[in-house]
A and B are shown apart, each in its own frame.
Chain A
């Protein structure tokens, strides 16, 4: 987190740039990296995917561009005069509602205001937390042999993520940088896509047996979840394994943990865990374990083909797996293991897969 003064200065710098453009007679514009699949490249040093050199320019020459610049100035005013000055904050959704009073600068939908907040992060090289902007809680949780302390409004709390929490686990706060890791007895981290599999592993005592920290991602992981996974990996030197369904959408969940998301590639350094490995369900598992499957839909096929041209998936491993799946024309859920018995996943699949990966 940056000091409020630094944040204020950078936001004002943005306003100043636009002001000067008017004064110089330059048609005001904001240049941002273009946020598409074609404009992400691998950063050797950070081992993550970041934006390339392609820029999209938002110029007041068009009504769309002009409105976007106007909205940017309103948003900057809100952040400086309401948030930073009074040390308060709003959620992304609240910002959308605040814009009701902005007349022609009103946001059409929340996706638009969310995007503009991300744009401001890129333009100022800051995080939305610096602007005192919060996401809505998404309920992702951690369960495992880990002791943390969290700064809350009622002081610092120390929590053991098995003993001091209920069945649901420890809920990840939106600002993970308020959490400190105190102690742990873990060998690795498993990040799980679905609640069903998360609960299955807890019920079967997998965390205790193998010394695993189980992170429930709740689908596509929020920033805070990805930040927490990265910190577990970096600060505690724990390997990270991503366990999802075996379909194209789940591979994207893995990609956002290990490679970075296209939408938030400007935060890759902060959020991405390059060492994270894909555990499964792999298309080869569908064959090897003879799992119950569903047919690929047209959307699935489109997504798989799109992944073949996605630079993040341009490795031999992924090409092989995706090609195989296109041949099988099938996908499998994590829950498919239950068809072999409730213990199958913890007794057979995970031990085999983990020893294959050199974890146990």
Chain B
């Protein structure tokens, strides 16, 4: 027997299920705690996607119970439910899903997620997964018990029956598996759901932990996120294999029509131009293209100047809701957010959103918290290998008032949240833990980080201006009066008038009255000086028990019951001063404190300030 024939005996197809059985770490089932997290994550992702597609405000219930050595995981939603005939394949066939072929922003992409959980469950406990689903109030609920045939990657239905369920519609998944429940870390079911709640403020999520503790992540808004919709692929995003497949299976009769009908940003003129550049007949049948011709077509794609793909297909969270999400889950002093315009990498539209929370309960020592999200899904693992982390490390945070000892992720009482929305998130691996270093994405994240950084810097400098004002108040309230008292004691004199000095230190408006008497007449001068750095317009009132004479500049005089209000309208630029003079008889005249109307009282020295 020839060696090749001998070897051929041992060669056989392996099923996808068998492959994943041997490589479960690829899917995120590589450790006991992580298996539980991944299962919950996949189920919750599906629930959120389904609710959004049906315009339902998600209400999701997650329960983890101890069951013997392992755990029982229950995830229940109020989504649209699943048609009975689809149930077995949705849950018990790997790589089955509605989204793999669609270019649309959604949480799940490959159709692996929940069926991998089913597979893990049966591998570790040998038990089937139970699915209950109901598609409307007038329909009966159905209950399935499912397993995966790992040799054929086909579902096996162990049991199917009608069931009673009080929800109008929704889906409930129950499975048992080995695992271990952790709580304190960010990499936990609690931490995951908390992060989900931040970027999905329209969802209500309830978690019942093994010890019976109930955590409710209440929704912060009743507004659904803008629905995302499916787009045609952009020529720039194509790869040869994909292109050849599309050429073979298209229903179009001519290459021209294929190009126009299959891709975004390609119209009649562009499709003609592509054919010319690739030296292909626009009238030929797409199925007839040879491998070499397809290669030329792809090369022509890359050389063409094309419009960007449509960008309104994405559904960003929005600055307002990021803020609401952050403020809901953290007590902080300040939140800055930004949503970047849509950008494109390799024909895939993507959009970056950044939020920065500062102060409050966040710890001041140690690195800032980094929360990464892709299509509203929290990324918990491989932070160091992620484009988001690399972008954070590229920013010089010192310019934005955060320290960055030794470079890298900055330190300080802050949390940075970055959300990337795209029709195709470029993950570094199938377990979807980290975003690949695509230069366009890194650049956009950096721009977003710098935007929120600038907002943080403005906030902090305003805060320090405020503390400067406080410091000055300490000077004028506590220290200056003591100095003047001490000096007066030492010199055995009256205490000096500290108002002019206070006005200068505080940048206030100073009003000072000086009086001189001669031949039975009293000459009064009110001098007003603006020590602030803003212009001041106000009314100056001088109330005297008699009507004043030789008033300069002239004042409006308003007789009051027991005296006369002399009123000047004054406007002073920074640093400007003005004097107001009048005379009164020396005998029997009563003055009251001058009044400034129209300047806040903390900005006035030497006079009473009113509204």
Task: Tell me, yes or no, whether B479 is within 8 Å of chain A by CB.
Answer: yes
- The answer to whether B501 touches A66, judged by C-beta atoms less than 8 angstroms apart, is no
Give the residues in chain B near A67, CB-CB below 8 Å.
Answer: 479
Complex CA–CA separation, A32 to B498 (angstroms): 23
How many Å from the CB of B602 to the closest CB on chain A? 18
Is B490 within 8 A of A77, CB to CB? yes
- B residues in contact with A104, CB < 8 Å: 478-479, 482
Minimum distance in angstroms from B577 CB to a CB of chain A:
11
Is A19's CB under 8 angstroms from B491's CB?
yes
Which residues of the other chain, B, contact A61 by a CB distance below 8 angstroms?
Answer: 475, 505
Q: Min CB distance, B382 to chain A, in Å?
A: 42
Query: Which residues of chain A from 23 to 58 have a CB within 8 Å of any chain B CB?
Result: 23, 25-28
Q: Whole-angstrom distance from the CB of A308 to the nearest CB of chain B? A: 32
Asked whether, in the complex, the Cβ of A60 is within 8 Å of the Cβ of B483, the reply is yes
Distance, CA A226 to CA B478, complexed state (A): 42
* Chain B residues closer than 8 Å to A28, beta-carbon distance: 483, 501
Knowing A19-B487, A25-B504, the reply to whether A70 touches B474 (Cβ < 8 A) is no
Q: Does B331 contact A (CB under 8 A)?
A: no
Q: Mark B472-497, 1 if CB is under 8 A from A, else 0.
A: 00110011101110111111010011
Expressed in whole angstroms, the Cα–Cα distance for A243 and B497 within the complex equals 58
B contact residues, range = 20 to 34
Q: How far apart are the CA atoms of A25 and B475 in the complex, in Å?
A: 16
Q: Which residues of chain B are within 8 angstroms of A77 by Cβ–Cβ distance?
A: 486, 489-490
* Residue B281 interfacial (CB < 8 Å): no
Segment among A10-18, A249-257, A342-350 that sits at the interface with chain B: A10-18
Is A15 within 8 A of B474, CB to CB? no
| B500: Cβ under 8 A from any A Cβ | yes
Looking at A15, A62, A74, A76, which has the most chain B CB atoms within 10 Å of its CB?
A15
Chain A: interface residue total (CB-CB under 8 A): 27
The verdict on A296 contacting chain B, using a C-beta distance below 8 Å, is no
A119 to chain B minimum Cβ distance, whole angstroms, is: 16
Q: What separation, in Å, do the CA atoms of A62 and B505 have in the docked complex?
A: 9
Question: With a CB–CB cut-off of 8 A, which chain A residues contact B482?
Answer: 70, 104-105
Instruction: Chain B residues near A22: list those with CB within 8 A.
Output: 484, 487, 496-498, 500-501
In Å, the complex CA distance between A25 and B502 comes to 9
A73 to B495 alpha-carbon distance, docked (Å) = 14
Kindly provide the distance from the CB of B490 to the nearest chain A CB, expressed in whole angstroms: 5
Closest-CB distance, A14 to chain B (whole angstroms)? 9
Query: At the interface, yes or no: B21 with Cβ under 8 Å from chain A?
Result: no
- Does A63 have its Cβ within 8 Å of any Cβ on chain B? yes
Contact: B505 with A15, CB < 8 Å? no
Q: Give the nearest-CB partner of B504 in chain A.
A: A27
Given A22-B484, A69-B483, A70-B482, A63 contacting B490 (CB threshold 8 A): no
Residues of B close to A105: CB separation below 8 A: 482
Residues of B within 8 A of A66 (CB): 475, 479-480, 483
Is the C-beta of A217 less than 8 angstroms from some C-beta in chain B? Answer: no
Give the residues in chain B near A60, CB-CB below 8 Å.
475, 479-480, 483, 501, 505
A25 touches B490 (CB 8 A): no
CB distance from A69 to the nearest CB of B (A): 6
Asked if A27 contacts B479 (CB within 8 A), the reply is no
Nearest to A61 among chain B residues (CB) is B505
Q: Is B479 in contact with A73, judged by CB distance below 8 angstroms?
A: no
**Are A63 and B471 interface neighbours, CB within 8 A?**
yes
Chain A residues with CB under 8 Å of B474's CB are 63
CA of A76 to CA of B487, assembled, Å: 10
A21 to B491, CA, bound (A): 14
A80 an interface residue at 8 Å Cβ cutoff? Answer: yes
- Closest chain B CB from A316 CB (angstroms): 45
Those of B500-532 within 8 Å (CB) of chain A? 500-501, 504-505, 510
Cβ-closest chain B residue relative to A81: B490
**Contact with A23, one of B478, B496, B504, B510 (Cβ below 8 angstroms):** B496
Q: How far is the CA of A179 from the CA of B104 in the complex (A)?
A: 99
Tell me the smallest distance from the CB of B511 to a CB of chain A, in Å: 12
Binding site of B, secondary structure by majority: helix, strand, loop or mixed? helix
Q: Which residue of B lies closest to A19 (CB)?
A: B487
Given A60-B475, A60-B480, A63-B471, A26 and B501 contact (CB-CB distance below 8 Å): yes
Q: Determine which residue in A19, A63, A77 has the highest number of CB atoms from chain B within 10 A of its CB, and name it.
A: A19
Is B497's CB under 8 angstroms from A63's CB? no
Are B483's CB and A70's CB within 8 A?
yes
Give complex CA distance A27, B505 in Å.
7
**Candidates B478, B490, B501; contact of A15 at CB < 8 Å:** B490
- A60 to B481: give the CA distance in the assembly, Å: 12
Whole-angstrom distance between the Cβ of A76 and the nearest chain B Cβ: 6
User: In the assembled complex, which residues on chain A have CB atoms less than 8 Å from the CB atom of B497?
Assistant: 22-23
Q: Within 8 Å CB of A76, what residues of B?
A: 490
Question: Shortest beta-carbon distance, B575 to chain A, in Å?
Answer: 14
Give the chain A neighbours of B505 by CB distance below 8 A.
Answer: 27, 60-61
**Contact indicator per residue, chain B 131-161, by CB within 8 Å of chain A (1) or not (0):** 0000000000000000000000000000000
User: In the assembly, what is the distance between CA of A12 and CA of B487, in Å?
Assistant: 9
Interface 1/0 per residue, A71-103 and B, CB below 8 Å: 001101100100000000000000000000000
Which residues of A126-143 have CB atoms within 8 Å of chain B's CB atoms? none
- Chain A: which residue is nearest B478 at the CB level? A104
**How far apart are the CA atoms of A122 and B571 in the complex, in Å?**
45
B472 shortest CB reach to chain A, Å: 8
Compute how far the CA of A18 lies from the CA of B510 in the bound complex, rounded to whole angstroms. Answer: 20
In whole angstroms, what is the CA distance A73 to B487 when docked? 7
Residues of A within 8 A of B488 (CB): 19
- Bound complex: CA A22 to CA B483 (Å): 10
- Closest partner residue, chain A, to B495 (CB atom): A22
Q: By CB atoms of chain A within 10 A, which of B479, B489, B491 has the most?
A: B479
A63-B471, A66-B475 known; A73 vs B501 contact (CB < 8 Å):
no
How many angstroms from the CA of A18 to the CA of B480 in the assembled complex?
11
Q: How far is the CA of A26 from the CA of B531 in the complex (A)?
A: 12
Taking CB atoms, residues of chain A closer than 8 Å to B479 are: 60, 63, 66-67, 70, 104
In the assembled complex, the CB of B468 is this many whole angstroms from the nearest CB of chain A, namely: 10
Least CB distance, A310 to chain B, in whole angstroms: 33
Given the interface pairs A23-B496, A60-B475, the reply to whether A18 lies near B501 with Cβ below 8 Å is no
B486 A74 Cβ-Cβ under 8 A: yes
What distance in Å separates the Cβ of B523 from its nearest Cβ neighbour in chain A? Answer: 20
Separation in Å of the A111 CB from the closest CB of chain B?
21
A66 to B476, CA, bound (A): 9
Q: Determine the chain B residues whose CB is within 8 A of the CB of A62 once the complex forms.
A: 471, 475
Give CA–CA (A77, B478) in the complex, Å. Answer: 19
Bound-complex Cα distance A305 to B531 (A): 47
Report how far A180 CA is from B39 CA in the complex, Å.
97
Chain A nearest Cβ from B495, distance in angstroms: 9
- For B491, list chain A residues within 8 Å (CB): 12, 15-16, 19
Asked if A19 meets B500 with Cβ closer than 8 Å, knowing A61-B505, A104-B482, A105-B482, the reply is no
**Docked-complex contact B471 and A18, CB < 8 angstroms:** no
**In whole angstroms, what is the CA distance A19 to B483 when docked?**
9
Cα distance A63–B474 when bound, in Å?
7
B496 and A19 form a contact (CB under 8 A): yes
Q: Complex: how many Å from CA A26 to CA B478? A: 19
Q: Are A18 and B475 in contact (CB under 8 A)?
A: no
The residue in B471, B475, B491, B510 that gathers the most chain A C-beta atoms within 10 A of its C-beta is B475
Question: In the complex, A144 Cα to B331 Cα: how many Å?
Answer: 76
A80 to B489, CA, bound (A): 12
Q: List 24 A-B contacts (CB under 8 A).
A: A15-B487, A15-B491, A16-B491, A21-B501, A22-B484, A22-B497, A22-B498, A23-B497, A25-B500, A26-B501, A60-B475, A60-B501, A61-B475, A61-B505, A62-B475, A66-B475, A66-B480, A70-B479, A70-B486, A76-B490, A77-B486, A77-B489, A104-B478, A104-B479
Ranked 3 nearest A-B pairs via Cβ: A25-B500, A22-B496, A73-B486
15 additional A-B pairs beyond A16-B491, A22-B487, A62-B475, beta carbons within 8 Å, are A12-B491, A15-B490, A18-B483, A21-B501, A22-B484, A26-B501, A60-B480, A61-B505, A63-B471, A66-B479, A66-B480, A70-B482, A73-B483, A104-B482, A105-B482
Q: Name B residues whose Cβ lies closer than 8 Å to a Cβ of A.
A: 471, 474-475, 478-480, 482-484, 486-491, 493, 496-498, 500-501, 504-505, 510
